[in-house]
Amino acid sequence: MSNSVKIKTALISVFHKDKLEPIVKKLGELGVDIISTGGTKSAIEKMGRSVTAVEDLTSYPSILGGRVKTLHPKIFGGILARRELQSDQDELQQYEIPSIDLVLVNLYPFEETVASGADKASIIEKIDIGGISLIRAAAKNYKDVLIVSGRHQYDGLLALLNEKGGETSLDDRMQYAAEAFNVSSHYDTQIFNYFNTEAQIPAYKISEIQGRELRYGENPHQKGLFFGDFDAMFEKIHGKEISYNNLLDIDAAIHLISEFSETTFAVLKHNNACGLATRPKLLDAWKDALAGDPISAFGGILITNCKLNHETAVEINKLFFEAIIAPGYDKDALEVLKQKKNRIILIQKDVKLAEKLHRSVLNGTLVQDKDLKTETVNDMKTVTKKAPSDNESADMVFANIVVKHSKSNSIVLAKNNQLLASGVGQTSRIDALKHAIEKAEGFGFNLTGAVMASDAFFPFADSVEIAGKAGITAVIQPGGSVRDQESIDYCNDHNIAMVFTGTRHFKH
């Protein structure tokens, strides 16, 4: 049997009727008979093509308000019959079932209906039954049938019809079948996940049908891919291709900046903030963020929650950096930033961030809720004789946000809504503190009156002792150590305010 199949009969059943006319016209030129039903049949007839109604073929009407139309042996027999098997062909002849060589379907928009916030009844009605069955049947019998499972394939189908005059190769049909099972599996995953928000079955199903290969992974010898709709979150208006490491930093940046409502600028490197400041004026926020670590800022990711103006862009342009993210840019600011051809410039769109984290480990996957808890002054329990001042309390809220978004073990030093220094990713908390103090003092900061935030409790009093000697006057930490009292006693003896939040913020 030849691998080539001539399309003689096509079944078309689609929810979205747009972009269909050029295909219908071409099928007409090729002498292909069309079978259809309902709204699709009416749309094709308006295009000037004669159509065989599914109801005429099956001698059975569409029933249950359109829920049952194509689910019939005369339809599925014509799709699933094996051309090389004589017994199948004899049965087609016996029951007067036409062979179907092309199935063109697009499904009810279930995912879009869920996203629209529709009521439950409307969502359930958008679970496609006939369409998904047609896709699976045609894809299973790809040796004989071409399955087109979505509007994204219309251009390819039209090119194929034009190029091969209505014939398809086995390779063509197998490729379309693979894409069809991609569509059907994604569709079923979305339905399961919708139901599982209530059922809570301990099963892990995730599906992303938009993917692209990156230049490489974390290192040049590693292959890297990104699955997701980047364009839904950002408008890229300038710069080179975004890399694997860029994506990790961008993700860290948008989660950090989402915590701030006042004018804020942040600089990130290797997923950690190396500079951050909140100020009434954007230019001052940038300058003070950069001051936090002007060395690490080189080659970093910049992000702000305000529209970027020209005067700030002029100052930023003095630094080499990989990417900048903002909700918008003044025209003259963009003219400055675009002077470097490789510089990535992104506009962040207002999109809700996912609330789950997924991470591959061993031979499986870890899934957890994101750390969405952010402490305010009301969450602070003063455990020392001295209570923090209003300024210290504000700085502790600020520092605690930064430490929450830093790799553990982490210590953050801050003053006047400015990140002075941090020690991140250390195997001991005392090392993280020493590193932070050394950095702050190295960049000329006076730590007198600064606050310290820790992502977890202090197991001993040595950390608050070192911090106090460096000039720290207030400490925020979760508390919970069996030796908390030792730290409290030291703070009481040295006029340091300390508050407990009761919430740990490990980040690994």
Q: Phi/psi at 68 (nearest 5 deg)?
A: -125, 110
Q: Who's near 243: CB < 8 A, 6+ residues apart?
A: 214, 215, 216, 224
What's the helix, strand, coil split of the chain in %, to 5?
40, 20, 40
Q: Phi/psi at 59 (nearest 5 deg)?
A: 60, 35
- The rounded distance, in Å, linking the Cα atoms of 47 and 451 is 72
* DSSP secondary structure code for residue 385 in this structure: S
Candidates 258, 255, 267, 244; CA nearest to 319 is 267
Contact 504, 481 (CB under 8 A): no
Beta strand spans in 300-410 (E):
301-304, 323-326, 344-348, 356-361, 364-369, 381-382
Active-site residue (options: 270, 287, 307, 435): 270
72 included as an active-site residue: no
Active-site residue (options: 140, 143, 240, 494): 140
140 included as an active-site residue: yes
- Provide the residue type at 213 as one letter: E
Contact 172, 220 (CB under 8 A): no
- The rounded distance, in Å, linking the Cα atoms of 93 and 79 is 14
- The rounded distance, in Å, linking the Cα atoms of 473 and 429 is 19
Instruction: Sort strands 474-477 and 364-369 into parallel, antiparallel or unpaired.
Output: unpaired
Q: Who's near 408: CB < 8 A, 6+ residues apart?
A: 424, 425, 455, 456, 506, 507, 508
How many other CB atoms sit within 10 Å of the CB of residue 131?
A: 22
Structure tokens at 456: 């977890």
| Catalytic site positions | 140, 270
